[in-house]
C-alpha cells in the first residue's frame, strides 16, 4: 500500500524495479502472500474505455519469478498450484500485450 500511496504525491513514481525489489524482499523471507499482494497491486489499475483494467505498473518476468520464488520458500502446501496459476497469468499477459519477454522461461 505504501507504494500505491506514493503514486499520487508528486514524488517519483514507483516503477517495475521498485515493485520487484519489494517482491524479492518478501520472497527472501518466504512471505508469499505479501509478495503476491504486491504483484496484484502492480496489476490493479484504472478501468479503460472498453471496461478492461490497465495495469498501474506492468510486471515483468522477474516480478513473476520473484513471486513464485516466495511461494516456493513459503513451504505452503498449495505453492505448486499458486505457481502454476502465476504462469498462466504471465502467458495471458504476454499474449494480450504481445510481449514475448513476459512469457515464462526456464527460470520461471
Query: pLDDT for 2-25, tens place per residue?
Result: 565 555 555 677 899 999 999 999
Cβ proximity of 67 and 79 under 8 Å:
no
Cell reading at 102 = 513476459
Alpha-helical segments (H) within the chain: 2-5, 16-28, 32-43, 61-74, 79-97
> Hey, what's the cell of 75?
513451504
pTM: 0.81
pLDDT in tens, 48-100: 666 666 667 889 999 999 999 999 999 899 999 999 999 999 999 899 888 88
Amino acid at each position: 500500500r505504501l507504494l500505491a500511496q506514493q503514486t499520487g504525491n508528486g514524488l517519483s513514481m514507483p516503477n517495475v524495479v521498485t515493485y520487484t525489489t519489494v517482491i524479492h524482499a518478501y520472497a527472501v523471507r518466504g512471505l508469499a502472500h505479501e509478495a503476491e499482494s504486491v504483484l496484484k497491486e502492480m496489476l490493479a489499475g484504472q478501468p479503460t474505455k472498453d471496461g478492461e483494467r490497465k495495469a498501474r505498473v506492468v510486471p515483468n518476468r522477474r516480478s513473476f519469478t520473484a513471486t513464485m520464488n516466495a511461494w516456493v520458500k513459503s513451504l505452503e502446501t498449495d505453492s505448486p498450484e499458486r505457481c502454476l496459476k502465476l504462469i498462466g497469468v504471465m502467458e495471458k499477459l504476454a499474449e494480450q500485450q504481445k510481449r514475448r519477454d513476459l512469457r515464462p522461461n526456464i527460470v520461471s
